[in-house]
Chain A
Amino acid sequence: MTGEYIAFFIFALMAISGAVLMLNLDRVIHMVLSIGLSFIGVAGLFVLLKAEFLAFVQILIYAGAITIMMALGTMMTSQHKEDKKLKRKGHTIFAILGATIIGLILLNGIRTTSWPNEAANLGEDNVIEIGMAMFTKHVIPFELASLLLLVALMGAIVLAKKESDK
């Protein structure tokens, strides 16, 4: 048993339990925090896969988003516990059935794909590799994505401006 093995189990447990808690808790803040646990678990898995850059970007962006979600959740939702939960009988059965089918399809996909035996040299400078790939091979999608973000930003300003003028 190596340290990596133990760490994998801890992070995987964090990722899964965070997601399960997110679905089962009642209050918005609790849900947001548990999804945060899940994000950090995923970031830990990235570290184990030697993708440090991706891991810390994951924490930077998603942990920031957690705080924003918490702030919005506090402002926009009711702070009292809601007792009544919508319950429909058929849902549980369909949910179990759906989850099993998706799981089987994914398992089948993973088992039948032929994985390359050795990963390309990701070890030392994967930040440089990511940068190179992004700004040479994938430069057009990258620019399109930034354009999309810019449009969204301007749209938000226009909408907010309209409301504040009233």
Chain B
Amino acid sequence: MADLLTRPFSWLNLLYISLAAVIMLGIVLFFVTYAIYFERKVIGWIQIRYGPNRVGPKGLLQTVADVFKLLIKEDIIPEKADKALFRIGPMLAYLPAFAVIAVIPYSEKIQFADVNVGILYYAALSSITITGILLGGWASNNKYAIMGGMRSVAQMISYEVPLIMSFLGIVIMTGSLNLIDIVEAQKDSTWFIFPQIIGFITFLIAGNAELNRTPFDLPEAENELVAGYFVEYSGFRFAFYYLTEYVYVFAMASLMTVLFLGGWDAPFGLDFIPGIIWFILKFMLLVFYLFWVRATFPRVKTNQLMGFAWKVLIPVALFNVLLTAVLKILNVY
């Protein structure tokens, strides 16, 4: 599958590449639909209530109905908004969210692009989404929207630093930025969650903040900002922002699986179960973690949030890089 990109250009080849992208989009949309359902059910279960159970058997069609409602809603653009940028905002936020999925290896056979700077690609593209969010907030011409956008920028830029630093330990250990090489390295030794436990914890926290999810969902704190940067958005443009968030849940959980949990590598030599099943299991565990945190933690305050990133998380991540480098020189790894 990955060799599609290296073949010489032809229209048939282009068709195959587009087809692969469309299939992936279908899978991602399916994931998003049922992630939302799963999230509501999990939170319901934690808070001792039922969650959605009316539409379809066991409420399975609830999200489908919600999305359908969003798509047939009137598309409103405020009178005083910057109309062109108001339209570009959601696109600019969504485009990188889908593009980062291309470098993630799902199993030995299912991988799209073998980029030799895979991690860097992820980090670079995901930073473009912030522009889309700020743009949406600014173009709405609404004080809550711009405040939500500004908070989002401050938060995402602050937490991007420890997020990228938590990768560095792994890069030092494997000597490669290629995600496929990183999985192969974990097959030979052990999953990086064990030697890189500090990096893993930093990643869990910073990743959660990068996704703008509770307890770090200040950009859309309903009780202060109405809804944050997408206050003025409705219909399918709002759906795009919402989709962006959940596609990042998909991407972030996949990335964590690849970096720390060994990707498609089977534990205890259980090789007869195919790699993709292992990938999905690990991936689901991490997605469950995100929902679990959302159901149990209260939201933090802005000053605590920024202080935590700069005074705790970044020094810890730096220490992890230093420790890994020292251990590498001492030949412990």
Residues of A within 8 A of B (CB): 2-4, 6, 29-30, 33, 36, 52-53, 56-57, 59-60, 63-64, 66-68, 70-71, 74, 124-128
Write the chain B residue with the least CB distance to A128.
B175
Known: A2-B9, A70-B131. A127 touches B124 (CB 8 A): no
Main secondary structure of the interface of A (DSSP, over half): helix
Min CB–CB distance A47 → chain B (angstroms)? 9
Min CB–CB distance A122 → chain B (angstroms)? 12
Instruction: Report how far A127 CA is from B120 CA in the complex, Å.
Output: 11
Instruction: Report how far A59 CA is from B117 CA in the complex, Å.
Output: 13
Known: A67-B153, A67-B157. A127 touches B131 (CB 8 A): no
Interface residues on B, range: 20 to 34
Contact between chains at A63 and B128 (CB < 8 Å): yes
Please give, as numbers and ranges, the residues of chain A lying within 8 Å of B127 by CB-CB distance.
59-60, 63-64, 67
Instruction: Report how far A66 CA is from B175 CA in the complex, Å.
Output: 31
Contact between chains at A29 and B85 (CB < 8 Å): yes
- Closest 6 pairs between A and B when the two form their complex, measured CB to CB: A3-B9, A60-B124, A59-B124, A56-B124, A56-B120, A52-B117
Please give, as numbers and ranges, the residues of chain B lying within 8 Å of A68 by CB-CB distance.
153, 157
Contact between chains at A36 and B131 (CB < 8 Å): yes
Instruction: Report how far A4 CA is from B9 CA in the complex, Å.
Output: 8
Instruction: Report how far A71 CA is from B115 CA in the complex, Å.
Output: 32
Contact between chains at B135 and A71 (CB < 8 Å): no
Write the chain B residue with the least CB distance to A2.
B9
Q: List 21 A-B contacts (CB under 8 A).
A: A2-B9, A29-B85, A33-B85, A52-B116, A56-B123, A56-B124, A59-B125, A59-B127, A60-B124, A60-B127, A64-B157, A64-B160, A67-B130, A67-B131, A67-B157, A68-B153, A70-B131, A70-B138, A71-B153, A74-B146, A124-B116
Q: Does B34 contact A (CB under 8 A)?
A: no
Contact between chains at A70 and B120 (CB < 8 Å): no
Q: Does B317 contact A (CB under 8 A)?
A: no
Please give, as numbers and ranges, the residues of chain A lying within 8 Å of B150 by CB-CB distance.
71, 74
Please give, as numbers and ranges, the residues of chain B lying within 8 Å of A3 by CB-CB distance.
8-9
Instruction: Report how far A124 CA is from B117 CA in the complex, Å.
Output: 11
Instruction: Report how far A59 CA is from B82 CA in the complex, Å.
Output: 26
Instruction: Report how far A128 CA is from B116 CA in the complex, Å.
Output: 11
Contact with A along B110-151 (1 / 0, CB 8 A): 000001110011011101101100110010000000100010
Please give, as numbers and ranges, the residues of chain B lying within 8 Å of A60 by CB-CB distance.
120, 123-124, 127
Q: Does B177 contact A (CB under 8 A)?
A: yes
Min CB–CB distance B117 → chain A (angstroms)? 5
Min CB–CB distance A93 → chain B (angstroms)? 33
Contact with A along B70-114 (1 / 0, CB 8 A): 000000000000100100100000000000000000000000000
Known: A29-B138, A36-B131, A74-B146. A57 touches B124 (CB 8 A): yes
Please give, as numbers and ranges, the residues of chain A lying within 8 Å of B157 by CB-CB distance.
64, 67-68
Min CB–CB distance A45 → chain B (angstroms)? 15
Contact between chains at B134 and A127 (CB < 8 Å): no
Min CB–CB distance B218 → chain A (angstroms)? 16
Min CB–CB distance B127 → chain A (angstroms)? 5
Instruction: Report how far A85 CA is from B274 CA in the complex, Å.
Output: 66
Known: A64-B157, A71-B134, A74-B138. A125 touches B116 (CB 8 A): yes
Write the chain A residue with the least CB distance to B141.
A79
Please give, as numbers and ranges, the residues of chain A lying within 8 Å of B82 by CB-CB distance.
29
Please give, as numbers and ranges, the residues of chain A lying within 8 Å of B146 by CB-CB distance.
74
Please give, as numbers and ranges, the residues of chain A lying within 8 Å of B9 by CB-CB distance.
2-4, 6
Contact between chains at A127 and B153 (CB < 8 Å): no
